[in-house]
Amino acid sequence: MISTGHPDNPYRNVLIPLALATAGSGQKLKGNAALLHSMYAFAAFNIARIDQPERYESHHALAIKHHQASFRHLRQSVVGNDPSQNVAILAAFIVIIATGILNGQSSQWRIHLRGGRDWLRSLGDVWNDTQGGHVLYQMFQCFEVVGYFQNHGLRDFSGVHTLTEHTGQIDSVCSAISDNQGDDYYLDIFFGVTKPVLKAILEIKKLTSRGHSATPEELIGLESDIMLANPVTLRFPSLSKSLEKLTRHHACSWYYACVIYYRRSLHRERPKEIQHLVEQALYHLAAMCTFKEDSNSGCLLWPMFTVACEAEDDDLRSRSLERLNNREKYGIAATSSIRHVVLETWRRRDSSDSDVDIYGINVAEDLGIDILLA
């Protein structure tokens, strides 16, 4: 569930104790129960995809049963207004959103992400001041930043007010993208997403979606921030040597994907002009597979999608598909959907005789595929 194989895996060290608390307590802990059933559902959906085909129906039926139970308990816990349940409630939202990624359910993640944000907003500036609470809050915000990357394609700017409304709410309590240097940040060691890169992705999206071109001053400032965000020399001194290298490869893949996103969305550079960035990103994506810590995990989907869509020559495309195929074997339906979008993007580019540029996010819209790239 995490990218780096870090020993302090929050899915194991935070979510599992919260889920098991409902079994060991005589109280009706609806938030914990929602989390427990959401984890059962996630596991059953995953087993249904990777087990023998003849057992699919039974696993899938069990998954649906627990999925519905998680929604029932989540609704009850949200209206219950019990602060002691807040961390478990947010954890349930996260697992339910991740279940949509597993199933490849287009647009379902948007409903749950919006519901989670509305609920967090109802709490005001009060949040659980624990490490587990901060980790989960930042994980949810990463979903938001990556999700709003997809809020609109690059062909028009309709509905910009919706994007502005949501992105204006992201930087808040124990924010993952806060400028406060005293805030602990966790997404780099768990997922390889450094704070400067996450902030840059959000800023690129804001500039892209506001309806008019960024000013030269804005572009210079943002490009300077992105150049300074290069994690190639970044140290993670608390990690083992092997885990530190793996984490740096993840961080570098996010960085190069961010640069590609910046060049394509704000400068509108053609794919042929950024192939050196695609090659660098693919180097780091491939390097992850050489570490035993990464043997049962993989990078998040955003860098894979962003990089693969822009590959031009046969070698880079083959390497892109290899990375997607490696992730696909874990039974994550979103990877299959992304692979379909990538192949169609390449096909349209290769067969196009016009000067119209083709963006993967617009191809996904045409195909009716709306998967959270997390």
pLDDT digits (tens, 9 = 90+) for 326-337: 877 788 888 999
Burial label, 132 (beta-carbon count in 10 A; 0-12, 13-18, 19+): middle
When pLDDT is cut at 50, 70 and 90, the band that residue 263 belongs to is very high
Mind listing the pLDDT tens digit for each residue in 334-353? 899 999 999 999 999 999 98
Mean pLDDT computed over 101-119: 89
pLDDT exceeds 90 at position 32: yes
Is the pLDDT at 160 greater than 50? The verdict is no
111: number of Cβ within 10 Å: 13
Domain for residue 5, yes or no? no
pLDDT, average across residues 194-223: 90
Please count the structural domains in the chain.
Answer: 1
Tell me the average pLDDT across 23-36: 84
Residue 372 within any structural domain of the chain: no
The answer to whether residue 166 sits within a structural domain is yes
Which of residues 325 and 255 earns the better pLDDT score? 255
1 or 10, higher pLDDT:
10
pLDDT bin (cut points 50, 70, 90) of residue 154 is: very low
Specify the 3-state DSSP secondary structure of 9: coil
Q: How far apart are CA 101 and CA 62, in angstroms?
A: 18
**pLDDT tens, residue by residue, 130-144:** 889 999 999 999 999
> Could you tell me if residue 1 is inside a domain?
no
Q: Which two tokens stand for residue 96?
A: 């339910």
pLDDT at 322 over 70: yes
Instruction: For residue 62, tell me if it sits in a domain.
Output: yes
**Does 209 fall in a domain?**
yes
pLDDT higher than threshold 70 for residue 288: yes
pLDDT band at 192 (very low <50, low <70, confident <90, very high): very high
Mean pLDDT across the chain: 88
What pLDDT is recorded for position 24?
66
Backbone angles phi, psi at 73, to 5 degrees: -70, -35
Question: Which of 25-34, 53-62, 219-228 is the least confident region?
Answer: 25-34
Return the pLDDT at 210. Answer: 76
Q: Is residue 4 part of a domain?
A: no
- Is 146 within a domain? yes
- Higher-confidence residue of 155 and 38: namely 38
pLDDT at 212 over 80: no
Angstrom distance (rounded) from CA 60 to CA 331: 13
What pLDDT shows up at residue 315? 97
More confident residue, 355 or 135: 135
In whole angstroms, what is the distance from residue 277 CA to residue 304 CA? 13
Sign, CA dihedral 158-255-174-372, equals positive
Which residues contact residue 133 at a Cβ distance below 8 angstroms, ignoring those fewer than 6 apart? 86, 87, 90, 127, 174
Residue 148's pLDDT band (cuts 50, 70, 90):
confident
- Residue 186 CA to residue 139 CA, distance in Å, equals 9
Mean pLDDT of 81-91: 94
Asked if the model's pLDDT at residue 167 lies above 80, the reply is no
Which segments within 133-208 are labelled E, that is strand? Answer: none
Structural domain range at position 293 = 10-367
Structure tokens at 235: 């140290």
